Structure 1
């Protein structure tokens, strides 16, 4: 009899302790939509790295980063190829959508991808309003800078009107803006014309088996470049006090 009472007391105590435990962090998803500067890369393309790859590793265990960015996509083709609808179908209240396009939208020579300034704004606005319709939190990012310096060693603007258009949409829609064009220009200027090569897919012939003839790419990132760009995004999430900042992993100081 006494043993039964003891067992019952232990059970009641356990239930009460569980009841008064602080609520765990809610599982959420962070969706990334954009182009090749953000996307996951095939191992055959290594060391090319989209900044969304390291970005995924900086959050607590209940945050899942779902990187849907695709090489060569613009705001137009991400819609026309039905890449957006599956994301929209899965969005839940409290999720996040990081939206970064521009490299392919702004290039008239890229037939099928090119998006007029008006279309670009319309498409960005659609991603924002449809994300909000599901209770998700959209974040707009200007496109990352290309590595382009003038003769005096000053970094050049490579997106022009399209970064301005993204900024305008952010103002009009009152959505958080992470100005990655400006942030990455500052990063490249700090590294300078020569050392900034370390941030991009720059390899000499024979330096890597995936690129036996070498590669001179001033748009796509190396592992180092992708990580530093991801850290810029995370720093802005914190600086703007976005609620997502609370879910960024805090490393053990040991």
Structure 2
């Protein structure tokens, strides 16, 4: 019995071992990315429109056969990434057959010891060291060369049976005589040297991506692959471009990771949100150069890499006619959760209620109505405030966020000051916004105050046709004022999407 029992236990153990062995063989290898913010920016969700290539590399690989984990962290150097224990986290997870994509360098050039970052490494790939008392950690530390830190990641990965791949740092969006300077005499060179010494795959991402960017030209790069405000971190398109360069070089290599590269990858960029502009001619597109709405130049102040500006404003419309003509119902079918809807009326709401044009709305915020006969039809006319609140509420129902703006100021200067209309449409727009707890901007006062700073003669140049409509210069003045206000307002929720030119 004892012998039989021993055999039974042995067979069970062997069976268990075989099952486990089979499971380990069917586990997908994992591709780990380690690096700085050019590999993973922030939380990797595109805050500020900035992305790292590690967030998109997985779209080029067959994720039914390989897993992707982006462990990069912004602000780190090859030294601080390891000192913070981030490499240990990855190293402890590594299994035979995994891959480690390594890219550092952008932050290694900083001071070795200071009270701000203390993240710099000794230049080169040598064994020289520098002993410091770290001003941040308050600990004694031996600082090594850039190459030493890269080599440590490589040898640790190899010891686990993983396959390291070293990359030179991506280029910065800095141009000299139509070209992007390379880092092939510094971090790119040192990364290559370590790869050669350790006999691992090297991808010259800096060189490959620089060539791609130069083929587009500086004007084709800035505002598409990089933001004007940031020469180091890429947009989503820039991150995809970097990832594609890595994949191209990988396919040309002998590295086994190439077997997981998709032949026809489907790249999905982050979905844009929409800014809908709903209003009258002071916002609308126009063929008349003397009646340009501020919505025309407005996109130049918006991050159009992440936002579509859709101008639905229509000249001659009031809150009443925009609704009556079906323009509102048609527009709101396009609103989606995450979108923003700018609503601005008032200039035409003061028109005739029961006479030709039929565009006037009742004054105020009340529930009162007036029935009007027009062309064998009857129309129930509501107050300006009622119509505005209707638009606000129906915008909310779509999941979009309404933004209420007062009407623009006219070129009218009673008593030497620009007319404010605080006794009517400006106040009613604010009351509607407050009643529905949505963001309100007093464009009338903001722009009028700036007009008064310019003076009558300068402002007159904005209004070549009449006292209401501006030319492009005047429309741009208003658009910039609105953009600046949104940028400076946390309550608007739009600061992140505003792109103001550098002064």
Give the TM bin, normalised by the shorter chain. 0.7 to 0.9
Cα 1:44/1:98, change in 2 over 3 Å: closer
Q: Give 1:40 shift.
A: 4.9
- The answer to whether the 8 Å contact 1:40/1:52 transfers is no
Partner residue in 2 for 1:129: 155
Q: Give 1:154 shift.
A: 2.0
Q: Aligned partners of 1:121, 1:113: CA distance in 2, in Å? A: 14
Q: Aligned partners of 2:53, 2:226: CA distance in 1, in Å? A: 11
Pairing 1:245–2:296 present: no
- Name whichever of 116-125 and 29-38 sits farther off: 116-125
Partner residue in 2 for 1:95: 98
Partner residue in 1 for 2:59: 57
- The answer to whether the 8 Å contact 2:102/2:166 transfers is yes
Larger Rg: 2
Q: Aligned partners of 1:232, 1:31: CA distance in 2, in Å? A: 18
Q: Of 237, 245, 261, which residue of structure 2 is paired with 1:232?
A: 245
Partner residue in 1 for 2:178: 153
Pairing 1:139–2:142 present: no
- The answer to whether the 8 Å contact 2:59/2:265 transfers is no
Q: With structure 1 as the length reference, what TM-score do the two structures score?
A: 0.79
Q: What value does the CA root-mean-square deviation take over the aligned residues?
A: 2.1
- Name whichever of 183-192 and 231-240 sits farther off: 183-192
Q: Aligned partners of 2:213, 2:46: CA distance in 1, in Å? A: 26
Q: Give 1:241 shift.
A: 2.9
Q: Give 1:53 shift.
A: 0.7
Q: Give 1:26 shift.
A: 5.3
Q: With structure 2 as the length reference, what TM-score do the two structures score?
A: 0.41
Q: Of 109, 113, 119, which residue of structure 1 is paired with 2:119?
A: 113
- The answer to whether the 8 Å contact 1:38/1:53 transfers is yes
Q: Give 1:57 shift.
A: 1.9
Q: Give 1:111 shift.
A: 3.9
Q: Give 1:187 shift.
A: 1.5
After TM superposition, list the pairs within 5 Å mapping 1:1-254 onto structure 2.
27-42=28-43, 43=45, 45-60=47-62, 61-108=64-111, 111-117=117-123, 118=126, 119-150=145-176, 152-157=177-182, 160-197=185-222, 198-202=224-228, 216-251=229-264
Q: Give 1:183 shift.
A: 1.0
Query: Which has the larger helix fraction?
Result: 1
Gaps of 5+ in 1: 1-23, 203-215
Cα 1:90/1:44, change in 2 over 3 Å: closer
Q: Segments of 4+ in structure 1 off by > 6 A?
A: none
Return the structure number with greater relative CO, CA threshold 8 A, min gap 6.
Answer: 1
Q: Deviations over 1:68-104 (max 9, x none)?
A: 0000100100011000001111100000000100000
Partner residue in 2 for 1:7: none
Q: Aligned partners of 2:80, 2:72: CA distance in 1, in Å? A: 12
Q: Aligned partners of 2:107, 2:251: CA distance in 1, in Å? A: 29
Q: Aligned partners of 1:247, 1:186: CA distance in 2, in Å? A: 25
Q: Aligned partners of 1:58, 1:154: CA distance in 2, in Å? A: 28
Gaps of 5+ in 2: 1-24, 127-144, 267-503
- Name whichever of 166-175 and 54-63 sits farther off: 54-63
Q: Deviations over 1:183-215 (max 9, x none)?
A: 12112211112111111133xxxxxxxxxxxxx
Partner residue in 2 for 1:210: none
SS in 1 for 2:217: helix
Q: Deviations over 1:142-165 (max 9, x none)?
A: 101101111x21222357412111
- The answer to whether the 8 Å contact 2:110/2:118 transfers is no
Q: Give 1:252 shift.
A: 8.6
